[in-house]
Amino acid sequence: MEKVVIVRYCEIHLKGKNRGYFEKVFMNNLEKALTGIRHEMHKPSGRYVVENFDEGRAEEIVERLRKVFG
């Protein structure tokens, strides 16, 4: 069974129609935090999923993602 890391975030409430922009910025920040670690990331509704990574680095991935603002 493959391990995955699920990143959830609270609802983004904005007056304008710029939610997509802030979600994109958040994903870019997540990707930056994982620089140097082979992985794939995609965004099903309301969360991000990190998969296809070396399972020996799972704890490192979680620790890096915990520090991402957002």
Q: What is the pLDDT of residues 11-68, one digit of tens each?
A: 667 777 888 888 889 999 999 999 999 999 999 988 999 999 999 999 999 999 999 9
CATH 2.60.40.2580 fits 5-66, yes or no: no
Q: What is the pLDDT of residue 9?
A: 82
Structure-block tokens of residue 8: 């959830």
Q: Of 24, 40, 30, nearest to 66 (Cα)?
A: 30
User: Greater confidence, 63 or 9?
Assistant: 63
Q: Which residues of 23-45 are buried (b: 16+ CB within 10 A; e: fewer)?
A: beebbeebeeebeeeebebeeee
| Number of other CB atoms surrounding residue 7 within 10 Å | 19
Q: What is the pLDDT of residue 39?
A: 97
Domain range list for the chain: 5-66
pTM to 2 decimals?
0.85
User: Greater confidence, 55 or 9?
Assistant: 55
Q: What is the pLDDT of residue 12?
A: 67
